[in-house]
Structure 1
């Protein structure tokens, strides 16, 4: 079984665990803020994903959002990055936009990933052969007109950055065609990879690896461009993220960077 096969099986089976609890009565707790939710579904899903990975790779290094797993990538070697439910607020409120996501990483480079959005009936897979959506090759959009760009802000982590986030929204709506905010970074990056929207952006420094790594690889392997807010190739410890179809990437970077200068 390849690493891609393992990410697929783990994400699909994990998503099945989460989906069984979707729109049921949930015991909801909060972590760092009143909007930072965690449920039993999160921990149950992560446990199932880890079981599947360790059945094939018993010594696997796990980076996971919940419980006591690592919260950052190791300096080198192989690792598995898990987000059991990305978009937990959506999950808690009964909104369909959430995913279970699993990525395989080698020396900080993603080599395979699967993102399952079970309530949407969508499965994204990606490896060195490209990005697939529901078994079909997919690609970023070909849109070149900024006035027709649909741009989505992602990764609003805390109220201390709300002024900056507001500036970002204000700048984007003035410069591009329209905005969408979906509340799930992995779904949003998947939409960039499949051409449904044209860009996803954030000014958040050092985003969590489980929120970004798989989705960034989806966009890159679908022909898009992903950098930090200075236009440098994106890495897991980057400041911000600008993921676009590539046609007007520098212009999007410029407008995003202006909101933090």
Structure 2
């Protein structure tokens, strides 16, 4: 009898939905979308993910890591969510894609006084040194387009500093993050000029999860994201951060 009760209890536990403490959420310092402030996850994307968790009744800790480590962790650990992540063909089969959580536009920037530097097409940019960040979507995209002149750094802000000093011809940068870092570093925006938008990787940043995760968890998170877009929560967050599609 005791054995039967134990088996019944075990089966009930197995039938329960994934608990909040079973979920890992990894991200990086990528303001204004996601960043840590006194141990709290802040930014547009962080708020969207938090709203999804609240909608589904789940809780989870946000772990801020260097992007390359977060990216690898999400690929290798079940029930691990990653954001904000760009969706490109090279990544398509690596994750289960939960949906768009923020608008996103990426462009090439140069020093405004570089009148000798012109980029009218993506192929034109191959003539110049381009600053990118390790393993981010911009780096992976340009690499897939056979760019060999990429100058790779571990922190986004380093590329802006290097461009300001004339140590790079061009940098590829998210437009909202670019303005954020200029304000943070008190750098005059007039020093720079946006010269070409990378349309192939512009449009939206995603929330994704390890593809071998609990199917019930995957569906719960997808439904949660759909729900906050339907009930107006998502639009309220975008309006608060003044970022709209």
TM-score by length of 2: 0.30
Tell which has more relative contact order, 1 or 2 (C-alpha 8 A, sep 6+).
Answer: 2
Structure showing the higher helix proportion among its residues? 2
TM-score by length of 1: 0.29
